[in-house]
Amino acid sequence: MQDTKKIDPRTVKRREAIIATARELFCEHGLAGTTLEMITAEAGGSRRTIYELFGNKDGVFEAVIRDCTGRITSVMSDLEMSDLPLRAALIHYGETLMTLLTMPDTIRYMRLFLAEVPRFPKLGKVFYESGLMTGRRYIASYFERQMAEGNFPKGNPWQAAVFFSSLIKADYDIRQMSYIDWEPQEKDLRSHVIAAVDMFLRGHGLDPEKMTS
Amino acid sequence: MQDTKKIDPRTVKRREAIIATARELFCEHGLAGTTLEMITAEAGGSRRTIYELFGNKDGVFEAVIRDCTGRITSVMSDLEMSDLPLRAALIHYGETLMTLLTMPDTIRYMRLFLAEVPRFPKLGKVFYESGLMTGRRYIASYFERQMAEGNFPKGNPWQAAVFFSSLIKADYDIRQMSYIDWEPQEKDLRSHVIAAVDMFLRGHGLDPEKMTS
DNA sequence: TATTTATGGTACTACTCAGTACCAAACGTC
DNA sequence: GACGTTTGGTACTGAGTAGTACCATAAATA
């Protein structure tokens, strides 16, 4: 049951253009505040094409959310495993995670998606599990390895990942979603991450002072 | 320049009824998905009165958000200071905070408010600072006292409050906002809070095992 | 009880916007 | 280069809704 038809390259291109434009407009004006005409005006094309490709307005929204989810997922994949010593690795993770979470786009996507959760419950699952949880899975598997190698006290790697990312993100996410056009200072983020990592280490019986950093 | 006029009790009553109804409808259908007629149909009265009292639809929304903010603030005031021993007090705080944050209403208000932040930037400030920060201020002042009394290592009480509430809430807030009709099990919350408190204490050089609880 | 003020209800206006129909033109395929 | 598909543009429909005008009425105040 594979696609017997070839896909017209025009269709792919139009589709991408519409999603990209709609994403920006939705983020700025919300779903209800964006008309299909605003989308075509900026992306080119005509409403006709939108209905052809997405069925209706909600179809565009779904496609946009899936696109945003993919973007967040791929951006979370930047949390590559590191072979630095534990404390340095955690600081590196923390700073990367913080950078990703405080990116204006991440915040905008989250606002957009959270707003419409009640009317698109399935998208909530997709966004949370495929998008936001990606980073946590990386971190949990890191702790799992560190526990196996004896660098970190044995325990529940998933809980460690939860506490670690909670300490790192603190309430920067909610605060940024609450304030328009506010971004934390980079040096505040750095000192926050270091404080969080050290507290995390002490919380697991490790002494940050004694760790090669 | 005080109000020289007396306020007609009818006005107060109507105002309250409209806000209460609008709050529920906005939470359920969103701002754009709620018509003024839906509000009058349920709250009684006529659109005429709405325009008299709130100017326009946005005025109703502003009033609703301020009302929600007040509700969250007042609910946060349940975080009264406790004279239990440190660990028991933190567990008590943690459980109360968790109960408040995971209340379905809290989640609904946050979704509603976050959705419209881009178009009502001022409300973001009100909601975050007056509403959400209230709990944190209580906790920070608690740590300040404990530091002064020598029950807790001296340091920055505000940072302690940030880390404490971050560990407690973890990502329950985001997760609940992402999933409709999902609520964490109470016993999971309790064990989470205990784990978080103990990690917090160890993170500050205190041994939970040795503390009277 | 008389006066003032807020309210209810209805009808109306003006507008926006999702979704549809249609045809000609552009483009990809073979 | 001919054929078939996708697209652009425009115009139309129909539903829904914010906001207004007006008047009779109910309630508060004095």
Sign of CA dihedral B75, B81, B86, B89: negative
A14 Cβ within 7 A of any nucleic strand D atom? yes
Kindly list the averaged pLDDT for each block of 10 residues, start to end, along chain B of length 213.
61 94 95 95 92 95 95 84 88 93 93 92 92 91 96 97 97 94 93 97 95 67
Whether A176 contacts A107, CB under 8 Å: yes
pLDDT per residue as tens digits for the range A117-138: 999 999 999 999 998 899 999 9
**In this predicted model, which residue has the larger pLDDT, A169 or A45?**
A169
B187 Cβ within 7 A of any nucleic strand C atom? no
Residues of chain A with CATH 1.10.357.10: 79-210
Q: Per-residue pLDDT for A1 more than 50?
A: no
pLDDT at site A178: 96
Helix axes B157-169, B133-148, angle to 10 degrees: 130
Model confidence at A25, in pLDDT bands (50, 70, 90)?
very high
Q: Name the residue among A30, A162, A200 with its Cβ closest to that of B170.
A: A162
Residues of chain B with CATH 1.10.357.10: 81-208
Nearest nt (C1') to A54 (CA)? Answer: C19
Q: Which among A40, A41, A58 is positioned nearest to A49, based on CA atoms?
A: A40
Model confidence at A213, in pLDDT bands (50, 70, 90)?
low
Taking an 8 Å cut-off on Cβ atoms, the answer to whether A163 and B196 are in contact is yes
% pLDDT > 70, chain A: 96
Residues comprising chain A, all counted: 213
pLDDT at site B1: 39
Rounded CA-CA distance B91/B96 in Å is 8
Interatomic separation, CA of residue A41 and C1' of nucleotide D4, rounded (Å): 28
Taking an 8 Å cut-off on Cβ atoms, the answer to whether A33 and B33 are in contact is no
**In this predicted model, which residue has the larger pLDDT, A209 or A81?**
A209
Residues contacting residue B8 through CB under 8 Å, at least 6 positions apart: none
SS (H, E, C) A135-175: HHHHHHHHHHHHHHCCCCCCCCHHHHHHHHHHHHHCCHHHH
* B4-29 burial: b if 16+ Cβ within 10 Å, else e: eeeeeeeeeebbebbbebbbbbbbee
Number of H helices, E strands in chain A: 11, 0
Q: Per-residue pLDDT for A67 more than 60?
A: yes
Q: Per-residue pLDDT for A8 more than 80?
A: no
* pTM for this entry: 0.90
Interatomic separation, CA of residue B31 and C1' of nucleotide C20, rounded (Å): 28
Taking an 8 Å cut-off on Cβ atoms, the answer to whether B119 and A33 are in contact is yes
Chain B nearest C-alpha distance from A203 (Å): 4
Model confidence at A148, in pLDDT bands (50, 70, 90)?
very high
Contacts 24+ apart (CB under 8 A), A36-40: A36/A60
Identify the CATH class of A79-210. mainly alpha
B81-208: which CATH number, 3.20.20.70, 1.10.357.10, 1.10.10.410, 3.40.50.720?
1.10.357.10
Taking an 8 Å cut-off on Cβ atoms, the answer to whether B202 and A205 are in contact is yes
CATH code, residues B9-55: 1.10.10
pLDDT at site A6: 61
CB contacts under 8 A, A 155-174 vs B, are 159, 162-163, 165-167, 169-171, 173-174
Whether A104 contacts A117, CB under 8 Å: no
Q: Per-residue pLDDT for A205 more than 50?
A: yes
Q: Name the residue among B31, B162, B203 with its Cβ closest to that of A200.
A: B203
Model confidence at A3, in pLDDT bands (50, 70, 90)?
very low
Q: Which among B144, B179, B185 is positioned nearest to B161, based on CA atoms?
A: B144
Taking an 8 Å cut-off on Cβ atoms, the answer to whether B179 and A32 are in contact is no
pLDDT at site B6: 66
Residues of chain B with CATH 1.10.10: 9-55
Helix axes B47-54, B57-76, angle to 10 degrees: 70
